[in-house]
Amino acid sequence: MEKIGDGAEAVIYLNKNIVIKDRIKKGYRLKQIDEKLRKFRTRRETKVLEKLHAIDFPIPKLILSDDKNMLIKMEFLNGKKLRDALNNTNCVKLCKELGKKIAILHNNSIIHGDLTTSNMILKDEIYFIDFGLSFFSEKVEDKAVDLHLLRQALESKHYEIFENAFKAVLSGYKIKNPDYNIIIKRLEKVELRGRYKGKS
């Protein structure tokens, strides 16, 4: 078994073609609170993955969820991280596809919570991974914040193309989300708040 990732929430292992997500204990939390929180997050992530499977959304196949040992086992996706595949030539096409897929998430009341190009795999299409911070919500604010986090990630990791990339994301999002105008208005407010905080 090979360790392939180490995040704030979990350690990720690869065993043949199976990814194992192990929600690690947090020593700074009381044991009972830690177990309760890890169990809750494991169950919530599982519910999100099950919902996405039900609507045939491109994610790794869920193999096993074990909320006693705080483990989730999934299919390993053999492809490139979008972070490493996105460039000036393909950014409009890929980001438009990305926007459509984020709209599908939001239309189904799913907030990813960590939309970065490191959490997307490019194979025959864009697959989304790492739903550890995801949750269900119909709130316009949560959808706007999800988009805002993606914008920040694009600006940070793909600063040379981020303006065209994010415009393409929004054009794809607009096609699939009937609440586009409401969400974009809220996104503008979220970004204003972010700029105000940055100056204070």
CB 123 within 8 A of CB 79: yes
Active site residues: 114
Q: How many helices (H) and strands (E) does the chain have?
A: 6, 10
Q: Which residue has the tokens 């990630």?
A: 153
CB 180 within 8 A of CB 104: no
Q: How far is CA 46 from the centre of its chain?
A: 14
Q: How far is CA 62 from CA 41, 43, 52, 155, 158, in A?
A: 16, 13, 10, 32, 30
Among 147, 183, 143, CA closest to 168: 147
